[in-house]
Structure 1
């Protein structure tokens, strides 16, 4: 098991740094950082001065090696836009995004697992069709559209929740629902499929013959076994919430990492964008690693393979 974790961990680190390498070269190829800092009306002399000041006159491989060396030392560079250390910017807003991601995951669990359970207990019925319809609708609706609908319904027509900011728990209700809804289809379908398979197992039929009701079977036996693969999927979904928070945080004016990423892109703040991509990649890869470890712990055949 330890060897499996080490191998998966090394692979995860390699993937994260590959993402950072690709992002670094693509960001620097898409725009001239010196020109973006100086502004469109700046003279060539000013642009060249800024280029020399920030070391932008060096080759890209040298600059990437310097950035990577700084990351390994804990130095993430300085923001061109905010003129402060990138690590400080990330630390200031990380807590908000973590709160939003965990809240969204809670919404996913609260909606998807009961829907999947009801659909599995009533296969091919109207309940099953309604549950699948909700899943398909949630998958088809983009976050920005759902966010705007939530603002109109619960911020304008029925002003129940605040629609901007992150001061209290009430500010996270609507954005958590919007961000969590996108994960409902995958978790619901997996719960439904797992429960249908488990409910057809021999030990479930034996328990039914002994007089156990469907509710008791679901709570004591079926749900516990059917949710084992769902747990690992939820770990991956949590990692996706960080990258997916860009649109949601922008719509609801939440000062998290997602909004910081959008502001950095609009301000051509390459050091901040580069660091945020690296952070999102690390979180996503880490959650995938957690999912792999959970799968290996629950299914010994994976470790053997």
Structure 2
């Protein structure tokens, strides 16, 4: 497994290189002049040109990319055009609120999603199944921004139980995590149900029941391990989406995280911040997929890595 892990880590390099090229080209295709935005709308053309030269935007694109990539290799993502602070500092300040929000959302989404999915599979085509799948479909169908505003209206404005903005205490995480994790819990429930229904029909499950084992033992000892591999795969992908796709929720709750930082960077055409964030999100997805692949071996010891 160690050799497999090291090979996958080495395989990150060409993937990240391709992502870096695509992101660099993409941000330079965005409309708007970052030099004008950095200089201010009231600046004259001479000032704008001076800012463009200072930022290196007057050089040819290949030369800009070589300079950018040389700095990235040294973990230097440049300086934010908007705040004039190092990009690494900007990201470091926003990373923990997003990570904690993602983890809290994922924890409750996995617990509720798997509980609903397993219950629906065990009582397939009965009322617990219909109720669970109705809740799952509702969670998928309801937009995140609408759910967030509804939760704020009920629990913050009318009841006054939870704050609406900030990330200072655990109470600030309740409403954003519920909003962010609702769709994940719904997807988890449907995916877990489908996986369990398939496993429950296998011969080894009928054999376990024929031996007189308790239904709880059959479900959690024999079915759970065999049904977890596709569920863990989906769980890893959903965690990556949560970590990099919390933009809408962070905008609704004015959350001081990476999603909000990305929105501000795109608005101001802050090239260094956009490039660093997209590279970070890409690396997160790759690492999460690697962790999921390694977890397969712990879930099912018969899996061998080559």
- Match of 2:131? 130
Counterpart contact for 2:262–2:277, Cα < 8 Å: yes
1:302–1:124 Cα change, 3 Å = farther
Q: Could you tell me how far 1:167 is from its partner in structure 2? A: 0.3
Q: Could you tell me how far 1:10 is from its partner in structure 2? A: 4.1
- Match of 2:18? 18
**3-state SS of the aligned residue for 1:99?**
helix
- Match of 1:54? 55
Q: In structure 2, how many angstroms separate the alpha carbons of the residues matched to 1:73 and 1:223?
A: 45
Alignment gaps of 5+ in structure 2: none
Q: Could you tell me how far 1:272 is from its partner in structure 2? A: 1.2
- Match of 2:165? 164
Q: Could you tell me how far 1:267 is from its partner in structure 2? A: 2.3
Counterpart contact for 2:34–2:268, Cα < 8 Å: no
2:132 counterpart of 1:143:
no
- Match of 2:106? 105
Q: Could you tell me how far 1:301 is from its partner in structure 2? A: 6.7
After superposition, the CA RMSD in angstroms is 2.1
Q: Could you tell me how far 1:4 is from its partner in structure 2? A: 4.2
Counterpart contact for 2:156–2:164, Cα < 8 Å: yes
TM-score by length of 2: 0.91
How big is each residue's C-alpha offset from its partner over 1:150-175, in whole Å with a ceiling of 9 and x where there is no partner? 11121112222211110001111111
Q: Could you tell me how far 1:283 is from its partner in structure 2? A: 0.8
For structure 1, which segment, 293-302 or 21-30, has the greater mean C-alpha deviation from structure 2 after superposition? 293-302
- Match of 2:198? 197
Structure 2 counterparts to residues 8-87 of structure 1, below 5 A: 8-30=8-30, 31-87=32-88
How big is each residue's C-alpha offset from its partner over 1:18-72, in whole Å with a ceiling of 9 and x where there is no partner? 2222222221221322122123332211111111111111111211211111111
Q: Could you tell me how far 1:97 is from its partner in structure 2? A: 0.9
For structure 1, which segment, 15-24 or 251-260, has the greater mean C-alpha deviation from structure 2 after superposition? 15-24
Q: In structure 2, how many angstroms separate the alpha carbons of the residues matched to 1:12 and 1:121?
A: 41
Alignment gaps of 5+ in structure 1: none
> Between Structure 1 and Structure 2, how many residues are aligned?
304
Counterpart contact for 1:96–1:255, Cα < 8 Å: yes
How big is each residue's C-alpha offset from its partner over 1:251-279, in whole Å with a ceiling of 9 and x where there is no partner? 11221111111122222222112211111
